[in-house]
Structures are given as C-alpha cells and as structure tokens.
Structure 1
Amino acid sequence: MSELSGKTALVTGSVQGIGLEVAKALGGAGARVALHGLASAVEAEAACEAVRAAGAAEAKFFGGDMRDAAAIDAMMAKVKAWGPVDILVNNAGIQHTAPLAEMPRDKWDAILTINLSAAFHTMQSLMPDMAARGFGRVVNIASVHGLVASKDKAPYVAAKFGLVGLSRVAALEYASAGSKESGGVTVNCIAPGWTETAIIQPQIEARAALHGGDRAAGIADLLSEKQPTRRTSDPAEIGALALWLCARVAHNVTGATIPIDGGWTAQ
C-alpha cells in the first residue's frame, strides 16, 4: 500500500506501544514519519529503524517535552522544516491513579498538560497549513475514558473527555477545508479500551498469578470487569484504524470518536 506516499506524518509518543505501531502503519503506507518521545539515542534510533523496516520513506526522531509549550513550539518548527506535515497523531500521554481526595496536584497538572494541552499546541501549529494545502489528518488517541469514567482516574478522564471535545471543535472549524478530490481536513479520535501495552502488564501478571499462572485466564478475569469480549487489543490494531482514517476515502469521517473497546462503551 502506498496511498500515503509523499505525505509526512508526526506521531507523538511513538517510541513504543500504540504510538510506535501507528508510526509503523503510516510508514508502511509510504509516509515519511517524524517520531517523538522520551527516549535515549539508542531507543530513538531503534524506533526509527522499525518504522523504516515497515516501509517508511524516511523516519526521524524529534525530542520535545510535552509539558512545556515553548519546547513544543521549538519541536514543531524543526518538524515543519523537515517537511510540511500532512498527518498528526497525538498519542503522547501519562497516567496516575489515586482517589480524587488523594490525587497530587502536580499529577493533575502534568496529566492535563501532556494529555490535553499538548494536543492543542500541535494542532494549532499544524492545522492552518493543512487547510491551506487542502489535505490534513489529525488522529487523537483518546481512550475509552474519553467516553466513560472510572474511579481513581480524575485527571486522566478529564483530559481524555477534553481531548474528545477539542477534536470535535477542530473538526467543525476545518470541515470545509479542501475538497473530496484533495481529501479535505479531518479530525478524529480513537478510544482504545484494554490494549496490550507495557502499562497493563503488572495488572495482567497479578491476575494470572491468581489463576495458577494462566495468562489468558488472568486477562479474561481482569477484563471481565469492563470489556465484554474479555480480549485485549493489540497496538497494531489501533495503528490499522489510524491508517484508514488517514486515507482519502475517509474524507467525510470527521468529529468521530471510534472505540476499540470490546463493547465496553456499548453497555
């Protein structure tokens, strides 16, 4: 597939997990991919090489602290100098769980800044140029927690609900940009449920231990509380949906939040 040949994508938080799989999916369709994250030089180059191996025309790492608006601006200037950005995927995010009364204020500030404000800054930087060219895709990796709440996740839920709202506003503001022929400018969210990333491994291992080390039984037990299929998603599945949303055929899909949650939000 080479539909994205000649396009440049920026994927934040893309040195591992969902972000890396999204970057590989876009690269596999021929895009040049700018990667970002908190990584050593070795880790950054390994991520770039994985994206090149998937088929990317080029892959380059850009550092930037998503807590710092000035640092984001500096990074965006470097990315735009590398190539006009046609596709933006905001995946960078952090999490901290605690009851509302015990949530540290610095955690609230950091989660809102990285999970929500950073997406505002990257979108504000790139979307006017997308509109001027008549083609642009923004895919924000939200969460099932952008659609429903859970206890002990006040800042994360607030940020993800905010990301869904921000995406809808941007979708409306840019809906008339471009044309069917050019592809238009769209803004959408993907809302994953339980996904096989490093962040959930300790929970899976703990549940598996309760079932004699049976990992599949541990996953089913863990997911039974929320996700009716009792199956996790693979990060590559998120990447596949992100890729489709970036295709020209998806020009009329905008302002949507698409769950990949095994029925969680259908309940």
Structure 2
Amino acid sequence: MATDSMCPQARFSYDMAMATSAITGDLSPTPPDAPFLAGRVALVTGAASGIGRACALAFAAAGAHVHVVDIAVDAAEAVAEEIGGTAHGTDLADPDAVDTLPARIDIVVNNAGLQHVAPIQEFPLERFTLIHKVMVEAPFRIMRRVLPHMYARNWGRIVNISSVHGLRASTFKSAYVSAKHALEGLSKVAALEGAPHGVTSNCVCPGYVRTPLIEGQIAAQAVAHGIPADDVVRDILLERTAIKRLIEPEEVAEAALYLCGPHARHVTGTSFVLDGGWTAH
C-alpha cells in the first residue's frame, strides 16, 4: 500500500494550497518542498548584467522561469542559457518592442536604466528623453501589459529597482533623479490599484551598487580628479554613507526576492531602502 510521506502540517498546507489555487485560477499547486516560486513566471529587464543579472539568477534559483530582457542580445542569451530562461533582445526605448514582450507574467522586476551626467542647462534633450523612455515609460508599458494576467490569477508581484536617487537628489543627474522619482510614484499607484487583485508593487532603493554603470562612473571620476579609483569610492561616492563599501548586486536581488516571497504578502507601496545609512542624515 502506498503511504503519504508528508507530515500532517505539510499535508494541511498542501491541501490548502490546492483549494486556494482552485479559487485563484492556478490549478498547478506545488508540493511543500518545492522552491517557493516554482510555477511562477518572472520578467526581469536590464537582466544581462549587474542587478538585473543577479535578480535573474536569484529568481531562477527560487524556482521561477525567467524572461531575460536586455538590449544586449548576446549577453541576455548567455544569462538565459545559464538559468534555463528565455532571452529577449529588446530596446526598451522602443514602445513597439516593449509591447511585444510576454503578457502572461507573474513577477516583474523593472530594473533597466542608464545614466548621463550634465548640468541642466547643458543636458542633451535627446538623452533626457531616452532615460525617461527606458526608466519610466517602459515600466509603465510593462505593467499595463502584464496586470490583466496578474488580476486574473489574483496574484502578482511588481518590483521596481529604484535608487536612493528616487528619494534624494544629486547635482548633474536631472534625468536619472526625475526618472527614479517618477518610478516611485508609479509603483505606489500600482500598489493601490493592485491590492484588491492580490498584486503588490514595491521599490527597492539601493545606494551605489557594484555594477558596470557605477564602475564606469568610478573610472571617469578617477580621471577627472586625478585620484585612485578606491579614493573615488570612499571619498566621493560613499561620502554620505555610514557603511563604507559598495553594495553587491546579489544584495539587491535578495531584497527583490524577499518582496516576492511568502513573508511579504502584506508589503506593498513601499520603498525598501538599502543605502548603508545614506538617508539617515
């Protein structure tokens, strides 16, 4: 005779999951020992490197199938091959391209971004527009595309990789700072609208993270000031932080993963700050 190897508590949880899934339209409950995102489908933008790549790896390790979205096609394909995901070589500045991304998505990580540094009076209009297309309009279009599926499933998670610059300002970064502030507002609206449908929306706000974008800024500042790169990190980038080290991409990915996990079901409309004490001032 076959025996049930589950303990009573696990069996109860599994039976409840089956009942709940029938109500929500998810008819494929996973056993209690499965990764907590098993059966979920995630879409991560800017996923070929840095924070996006770390998120793609973390979500795949937690059981999700990950759509790896990046303008760098070869790098996106390499990440997708590494995690068994699906690559999309997509230019997020192109609305038509964004509107071809998959809609049956349970988890979105809006991460893609770019930077340009210049005083407002010298800031190129085309760069300002590009930054806002990638960092504000694309997240809006992606949310607009996937929310009907999330609402139908009565479950969805939106994680917007914002920044301390979504909460504070710095000189010469008008496009980036205004885009991140806009993303914070968009995330809160999505949280309010999504709550009745089982959808949460949150921002993760890191300080300076060890990414290719930041490494480029460090190198440029070292040349401009004639100082070693380590001095740039300590004396310029981390001047206002209490913890004097760059944040690793994996730390940001862990925060994003937490917001999609079972202990964050009541967390929505928030800004999860990882800044080493920057905003404590």
TM-score class normalised by the smaller sequence: 0.7 to 0.9
Which residue in the other structure is 1:65 paired with? 91
2:250 to 233, 236, 245: 236
1-side partners of 2:227 and 2:117: how far apart?
27
- Distance (Å, rounded) in 2 between the aligned partners of 1:214 and 1:152: 20
Contact 2:73–2:88 (CA<8 Å) still a contact in 1? no
SS in structure 1 of the partner of residue 121 of structure 2: helix
Distance 1:12 1:202 in 2: 20
Structure 1 residues 45-64: aligned runs within 5 Å: 45-50=77-82, 52=83, 58-64=84-90
Aligned pair in 2 of structure 1 residues 114, 205: CA closer, same or farther (>3 Å)? closer
2:76 maps to 1:44? yes
| Partner residue of 2:133 out of 113, 116, 127 | 113
More off after superposition, 235-244 vs 1-10:
1-10
Deviation at 1:219, TM superposition (A): 2.5
Matched, 1:25 2:58: yes
Is the contact between residue 47 and residue 76 of structure 2 (CA under 8 Å) also seen in structure 1? no
Aligned residues: 247
Distance in 2, Cα, partners of 1:173 & 1:112:
23
Paired residue for 2:42? Answer: 9
Q: Given the alignment, which residue of 168, 187, 193 partners 1:148?
A: 168
Once the two structures are TM-superposed, the CA of residue 220 in structure 1 deviates from its matched residue by 1.9
| Distance in 2 (alpha carbons) for counterparts of 1:208 and 1:96 | 17
Distance 1:208 1:152 in 2: 17
Matching of residues 45-194 of structure 1 within 5 Å: 45-50=77-82, 52=83, 58-74=84-100, 76=101, 79-80=102-103, 84-177=104-197, 184-194=198-208
Work out which of the residue numbers 217, 223, 230 in structure 1 matches 2:237: 223
- Per-residue Cα deviation, 1:148-194 (whole angstroms, up to 9, x for no partner): 011101111111100000000110011121xxxxxx21000001111
Letter in 1 for 2:154: G
In 1, are the aligned partners of 2:238 and 2:245 still within 8 Å (CA)?
no
SS of the residue 1:229 aligns to: coil
SS in 2 for 1:9: strand
Q: Is the Cα contact below 8 Å between 2:116 and 2:127 reproduced in 1? A: yes
Q: Is the 8 A contact 1:223 1:231 kept in 2?
A: no
Relative distance call for 1:72 and 1:46 in structure 2 (3 A) is same
* TM-superposed deviation, 1:256: 0.4
CA spacing shift, 1:67–1:206, aligned 2, 3 Å: closer
Where do 5+ consecutive residues of structure 1 fail to align?
A: 53-57, 178-183
Q: Which region of structure 1 is more displaced relative to structure 2, 149-158 or 195-204?
A: 195-204
Which secondary structure state, in structure 1, belongs to the residue aligned with residue 215 of structure 2?
helix
| Counterpart in the other structure of 2:9 | none
**CA drift at 1:248:** 2.5
Which deviates further from its counterpart, 202-211 or 244-253? Answer: 202-211
Q: Percent identity?
A: 43
